[in-house]
A and B are shown apart, each in its own frame.
Chain A
């Protein structure tokens, strides 16, 4: 039931855009996105809820296709500070934020 992320890794130049995908084999009620910088703890970015509600982040947006059980994270005009590993998390039943995380997508932004 672990969500599947793609790509596993991506290398960008500053200013380029990237898309990270997250798909699940089961029905999704919400998708959570976190970013983890090297040697640090994961940090919450945003959540997308069934029905379209979401909490956004500056220059990082996301979509949630409930029918396809997929979410995509869009990083626009990437900055060096965007480097890190991005995880999507899906709720393991219920609504208490009990998450199963994907294996992550490592994003490297070069000058």
Chain B
């Protein structure tokens, strides 16, 4: 099975530009998470979707950040306008519904997108 797919893997942009990060969760998973990782702040949860519905977006830093999940197989995280302090690695993760095979809420992380805003 393919794991979580993220694109692009690397993004370099200039301050003020719009950035869109993409994620395809593992098929059959019903929860999706966006994280940001920096040396200073560690791994921070930005937003969490369950069955395509945003459940908790309290981690979204400010209105410049927005996330959507139009269907079960695709999600985007958009930053508009981008700033140098947004430079980080952004991870998308998905987790399956609890059942006999996956009785726990383990999360499967994608490879991440390394964003650099100049």
Contacts and interface: CB of A to CB of B under 8 A. Distances in A.
B118 to A, nearest CB: 22
Contact of A42 (B44, B91, B95): B91
B50 A41 contact: no
B25 interface: no
Contacts of A42: 43, 91, 93, 107, 109
Nearest to A47: B104
Contact of A55 (B56, B93, B104, B111): B104
B107 A44 contact: yes
Contacts, number: 61
A104 B38 CA distance: 12
Nearest to B95: A97
Contacts of A100: 45
Interface string B11-35: 0000000000000000000010100
Main secondary structure of the interface of B (DSSP, over half): strand
Contacts of A27: none
A100 B33 CA distance: 12
Interface residues of B, number: 23
Interface in B101-118: 103-112
A88 B31 CA distance: 19
Interface of A: 2, 32, 34, 40-44, 47, 49, 55, 87, 91-92, 95-104
27 contacts: A2-B42, A32-B105, A32-B106, A32-B107, A41-B111, A42-B43, A42-B91, A42-B93, A44-B107, A47-B104, A87-B42, A91-B105, A95-B105, A96-B31, A96-B105, A97-B95, A97-B105, A97-B107, A98-B45, A98-B55, A98-B56, A99-B33, A99-B45, A100-B45, A101-B44, A102-B42, A104-B42
8 nearest interchain CB pairs? A97-B105, A41-B109, A44-B106, A103-B42, A101-B43, A47-B104, A98-B48, A42-B109
Interface of B: 31, 33, 42-45, 48, 50, 55-56, 91, 93, 95, 103-112
